[in-house]
Amino acid sequence: MNEYDSNRIFDIVKKIGYKKTEDHENADCYLVNTCHIRDKAKEKVYHEVGRIKQIYLKKKKPIMVIAGCVAQAENQEMLKREPFIDVVIGPQSYHKINQILKNFQNSKKEDETEFDTIAKFDLLEQTKNSDSKVSSFLTIQEGCDKFCHFCVVPYTRGPECSRPFKTVIKEAEQLIKNGAREITLLGQNVNAYSFKEKNKELRISHLLNELEKYSEIKRIRYTTSHPVDMTDDLIECYSSNRKLMPFIHLPIQSGSNKVLELMNRKHKVEDYLRIYDKLIKINPLVKISSDFIVGYPGEEKSDFNETINLVKEIKFINSFSFIFSSRPGTKASKFEEIKSSISKERLIELQSHLFQNQIEHNKFFENKVIDVLVENKMKYQNKYFGRNEYLNSVIFNGDPNEIGKVVKVNIENSNQNTLFGKINNKMKAA
């Protein structure tokens, strides 16, 4: 989501003459787009500001803008803590950035952190999306109404809000025109997408099926999902939609029902397994990744063991795992935390299982021919980069004419993160 937001901010500021530059020492404006999911992310912002301050000790100070979720959550506190910062803009207000930059005065700090999602979406409709990547992101939904007790997203991104169906398709067409061959639909709860048009509710399944009609599009994905919104019409797409990739990022956070209740996740492990079984039944090629939090307040060893058992049962192919990080303003911040040594120990154990699943999954492709969407040429050894259906990184020999095409690649070897191979010249690219 942050990458998408950063690209769109740039699309907006281009209108008033700003350009990207690698000449950091002479930049007129520094903009840092931020994430507030974990506490370390916030401190990285202040570290980055400190680094930039050193560059400009003897030079004219640039306008220092902090955008995104940290700006939303910290706003006035951030301006007080670090005088070098001039402007904070929340994720639902960055459509106002041109006005702020044009009217900026050094003596006045700017705090623009109102929730104005609809106005932002209206501007996005009018702004040309200059993203020319083969694999491009497209935001369809923002915000969250789930209020998990550990999460700040409802407070930094606001309530769930979906973009109009037609404007999403219009932006997709712009991406296609600019060279996109894979589109990933984005949202904090992307599968909660819901837009009413002529008394009909249009859901993410309708978007997926509409995008499938475009011949230029080779692949469609979406992230991040919530189990509560994994509806039957969406599951059906994994059977009927030829371009929807059989890979789903579906966070569960814990394998313990007790912990899920403490987290206010609004689903049980059994619900998650039921969704998984439906997906596998409708399409046996489907694979799943997930998110896990260990050391959540109230998590006992037996709860953690249930998480390990779930990981062994489902064989998640690529997951994210973290130690619980208390976020100010959330309900979980008031709970008593467990010892950090215990959390660290559990994280190591969990990651060993997750990484083993990942290695086994990658090893499965060795000595096989797979489909790879070629994204770009790498900077060394005349190699090319692409991804398979499951988002595995693939490095291989290639040809510039194949960028944007799906090619057949013989996989020779692999490691935990990457597949390596050679193009199969006997089989044509699509």
For residue 246, give the nearest of 388, 133, 406 by alpha carbon. Answer: 388
Number of structural domains (the chain) is 3
Do 407 and 287 share a structural domain? Answer: no
* In-domain check, residue 430: no
* In-domain check, residue 269: yes
> In this predicted model, what pLDDT tens digit does every residue of 148-168 receive, in sequence order?
999 988 887 888 999 999 999
pLDDT class of 25 with cuts at 50, 70, 90: confident
Q: Which of 346, 364, 382 is the last residue of a domain?
A: 364
Q: Which of 59, 87, 114 is the last residue of a domain?
A: 114
Q: Which of 328, 344, 364 is the last residue of a domain?
A: 364
Secondary structure of residue 186 in the 3-state scheme: strand
Do 161 and 244 share a structural domain? Answer: yes
* In-domain check, residue 176: yes
Secondary structure of residue 168 in the 3-state scheme: helix
CATH value at residue 350 = 3.80.30.20
Q: Are 247 and 209 spatial neighbours (Cβ–Cβ below 8 Å)?
A: no
* In-domain check, residue 429: no
State which residues form the domain around 415: 369-423
Do 181 and 268 share a structural domain? Answer: yes
CA distance 180 to 133: 6
Contacts with 248 (C-beta within 8 Å, 6 or more apart), sequence order: 225, 279, 286, 287, 288, 289
Do 385 and 348 share a structural domain? Answer: no
> In this predicted model, what pLDDT tens digit does every residue of 224-280 receive, in sequence order?
999 999 999 999 999 999 999 999 999 999 999 999 999 999 999 999 999 999 999
Mean pLDDT, residues 360-367:
97
Do 317 and 268 share a structural domain? Answer: yes
